[in-house]
Chain A
Amino acid sequence: MTRLTRRQLMTLGLGAATATTLAGCATPGMTSVNTAPTLPAAADGKPVTLTYWAWLKDLQAVADIWNAANPHVQVRTVWIPSSGQGGYQKLYTALAAGGGPDLAQIELRAIPEFMLVNGVVDLARYGASGDATTFDPTLWGQVSFSDGVYGIPQDSGPMATFYQTAAFEAVSAKPPTTWTEWAQVAVELRKNKVYIDCFSISDPSSFVAYATQAGAAWLKADTDGWVLNMTDEATLAVARFFDTAIDSDLVTTAFALYSPPWFAAAANGSLASVTDASWADALVEGVANGEGKWRVAPMPRWEHGGYGSSYRGGSTTAVLAHSAHPAEALAFATWLNGSHEGIDALIKQSGIGWSPIKDYIGADRTGASDFFQGQDYNTDVFLPASTEQNDKWQWWPITQQSLNILADEFRRKPSGQTLVDSVAKAEASILTAFRNKGLTIRKGEA
């Protein structure tokens, strides 16, 4: 009798547990904070504490400047691992659990991904649209989607070419102004067993930047959903160019940018240049015994047209969905990224990338650099580059997955699959990935 009851009890218990689990296992991110009424700012004098998760170093020192001036809105920073290397994973889990910080560092390209899980607050509802004129229009375009603003731009990465003067002088070459010239210089450098650059088959973000420069805009938001076109002439021309470059052994695919083998090759002079974002200056300065050996030149241009430069990387400060004080959080984010005081402190303490404000590159970024042979490279090279950007490019809700899909195809390059084929195959997979997310997408006309 008792034994039977106990078994029954157990079945009942298990059943109840299963039922509650199934009821409780609603997929996270189902409700949108942006359809709920806006939250009012705290009453005057009522102290508010904001938490801010970011991977910028020494960010608390910057926040303390704000804290001293705003005793009733205190900001506490928490360090998280960088972006997809653990930081986003942490943010997503916190959001899924219904928690998370008030503010977080989110890359420009990841903003739509956080929108997909209803993780970020539409700041236009708290008056952020008024700040549009302060910021770089290209960056502002990347955080704005259908009348909403989903993050305050924090930094970006206009691109140029860092090169070792000795390697170029050895073949009496000047920094190339077009990609065709770049290939010619590469041929000369190979005679000295020097590579002009590496082409990362595991991280296609450089390829994306080159395609952006050539004029590509892979994703467009239309009224009936997303429109994808990765096989446009601009992208295919870039893919063909690098297919030839890799096949003729002009670039190496053996390592990725800023990996230990990259630093080793840059230090011993077997890697002559790197075309990358402005924030790469700190990385190039990390090359052993590099002082006085490097200079910066404008990025080579595509001969068929496109833009003078491109960008790689860049972050925002976003207000997360479960914040109880979005109004105060926006005020802090605007001060941090939109004021000269905030930008100067961010550059000094945290070494952020290119300033997101129009016409202000930061006090520490002016003047000659000892490392780069006394060149005033920020004003001379990167400032013009920051204005020659493809403003039609837009990120999309599955950026990281799409880049991984592209990387998985690019990895087949050493075994013979061309980049041109890889782009086409990746496009088909990305269409499927969109649909599997329950999103609407169609293939755009070429």
Chain B
Amino acid sequence: MSSTAQTSEKAGPRTRRRSTPTSRAPWLLLAPFLVVFLLTFILPILAAVGSSFVQVTRKGLFGEAGVSQEFAWFHNYALALQNSSFISSIGRMFLFGIVQVPIMIALATVLAFLLESASAKWPGAFRAAYFLPYGVPGVIATILWTFLYVPGLSPVIDVAKWMGIDVDFLGAGTVLWSIANIVTWSYTGYNMLIIIAQLKSIPGELYEAAHIDGASPWRVARSIQVPLIAPALMLTTVFSIIGTLQLFAEPQVLMSVSPAIDSQYTPNLSAYTTAFAYNDYNVAAAQAVLIALVAFVLSFAFLRLTNRKS
């Protein structure tokens, strides 16, 4: 602290010169971004945190005899945590993430390796094909898949029936995995692309050296490629964990065909319903803060865990 004070003292005359047009330029150029960032990102977050600590009391049948609000400490957080539907939605996302994220990341890695292997044919065309689902918005993707899930419309179910198998994609026990399937279909290509970018940055000399040493392709993948793409794997996993907790569009659209999906099926659906169907903005704000905290803790825990290993 003292050293900084000293430096700034020494730098006194020079810092005065800093308020020239050139020193103000970066701030001026950043201003448009900062203003929008502040108004649409920082302020709403502060507003949400603020309103999560407020409680409303009503007098009369509809509050017609007076409505008052007061600071309520963690009352709304307690209500959010008492809501068993909200808690089970978070639990459901844990289950979803533990199964779906590893499958998707593994699939993305395998696809990336295949496309980057020396014997790959038309890697460009396949890369584009695998990436294509990411270009389909979540809502549209879900509508597309709905036609394969709904009995009476789905050719998959018809074919299974001929073979004597009764499949129900939309039942209470299966619909979560039907959603996982849509999410995997949408995002595998995107994650694959990040991994490919990292694979491409591995210097050619390493492959040459391995080749000279007589390493098998399997050995090259295990000892060179996987360790060197670890940062990309970590990045995609963290993105996927956050994405899982924010699942919204897919269950929202599937709701109309699957009775098993309730209005609080995922944490974000729960916050949305609480805010805009139940008009309970304060509890919804508390839920939103809790979701952000869980996402933060999970991502942080994952990073700590993988860092310790390496």
B-binding residues in A (CB < 8 A): 1-4, 17-18, 21-22, 24-32, 34-35, 84, 88-89, 92-93, 96, 112-113, 115-118, 145-146, 200-202, 221, 225-226, 253-256, 259-261, 263-265, 268, 397-398, 400-401, 404, 407-408, 411, 414-415, 436-439
Contacts and interface: CB of A to CB of B under 8 A. Distances in A.
Nearest to A120: B62
A260 B150 contact: yes
A147 to B, nearest CB: 11
Contacts of A1: 8-9, 12, 15
B61 A260 contact: no
Given A1-B8, A25-B54, A116 B47 contact: no
16 contacts: A1-B12, A2-B15, A3-B15, A27-B51, A27-B69, A32-B63, A88-B276, A116-B62, A221-B61, A401-B277, A401-B278, A404-B273, A407-B263, A408-B264, A411-B172, A438-B55
Chain B interface size, as a band, is 35 or more
Interface in B32-81: 38, 42-43, 46-47, 50-51, 54-58, 61-64, 67, 69, 79
B273 A200 contact: no
B224 interface: no
A34 B64 contact: yes
A202 to B, nearest CB: 4
A422 B63 CA distance: 29
Given A1-B15, A27-B69, A411-B262, A21 B279 contact: no
Contacts of A21: 43, 46-47, 50
Contacts of B152: 260-261, 263-265, 268
**CB-based closest 9 A-B pairs:** A264-B152, A202-B259, A89-B276, A438-B57, A115-B62, A438-B58, A22-B50, A21-B46, A25-B50
B85 interface: yes
A189 B170 CA distance: 26
Contacts of B216: none
B123 to A, nearest CB: 39
Interface of B: 4, 8-9, 12, 15-16, 18, 38, 42-43, 46-47, 50-51, 54-58, 61-64, 67, 69, 79, 85, 146, 150-153, 172, 256-257, 259-264, 272-273, 276-283
A414 B279 contact: no
Contacts of B153: 260, 264
Contact of A116 (B85, B146, B279): B279
A28 B281 contact: yes
B63 A414 contact: no
B67 A29 contact: yes
Contacts of B283: 436
A19 B33 CA distance: 22
A221 B65 CA distance: 14
